[in-house]
């Protein structure tokens, strides 16, 4: 039984580290090789690299707040939430595999962005997708991890709600 708990903890740590690592490596490459607001087309005009430093949260929300308030709302509070989520992942043995993986992706992406805020004062965003009428804001690999994680959690939620209740 202790081996299963140890293996579970190792898998959680590995998933989180892989997500943080992919995020930080990609941001490091972008910081070193792409100028601010440089426009590099990867797939025609559909996938574009363009480096921006985001001092706010999603779509720059909160970026104009005074620095002490911004630091608390965008660094300290998320860091505390991530510690809580990581504790939940470690100790909630009833989490289904897809939910646990989703939670690890969210935690890894969150750590990547919080790390940037603490170290650089902003988050490096660099990916932009434009496919006909569909267009994203500029985002990074941490954001991709977070979205995949939420997708897995939603999938688990809807699977659970499809199970008929016995009376």
Which residue among 35, 44, 45, 125 is the active-site one? Answer: 125
Annotation marks residue 116 as catalytic: no
Angle at which helices 97-120 and 141-162 cross, to 10°: 150
Which residue among 23, 35, 116, 143 is the active-site one? Answer: 143
Annotation marks residue 45 as catalytic: no
- Judge whether 156 and 102 are in contact, CB under 8 Å: yes
Supply the residues annotated as catalytic. 125, 143
């Amino acid at each position: 039984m202790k081996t299963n708990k140890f293996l579970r903890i190792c898998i959680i740590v590995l998933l989180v580290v892989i997500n943080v690592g992919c995020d930080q490596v990609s941001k490091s490459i972008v910081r070193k090789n792409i100028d601010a607001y440089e426009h590099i087309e990867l797939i025609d005009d559909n996938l574009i690299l363009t480096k921006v430093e985001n001092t706010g949260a999603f779509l720059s929300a909160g970026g104009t707040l005074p620095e002490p308030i911004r630091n608390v709302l965008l660094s300290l509070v998320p860091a505390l939430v991530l510690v809580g989520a990581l504790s939940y992942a470690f100790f909630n043995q009833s989490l289904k595999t897809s939910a646990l993986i989703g939670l690890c992706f969210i935690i890894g992406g969150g750590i990547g962005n919080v790390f940037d805020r603490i170290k650089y004062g902003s988050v490096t965003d660099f990916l932009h997708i434009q496919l006909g009428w569909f267009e994203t804001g500029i985002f990074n690999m941490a954001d991709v991890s977070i979205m995949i994680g939420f997708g897995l959690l939603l999938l688990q939620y809807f699977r659970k709600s499809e199970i008929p209740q016995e009376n």
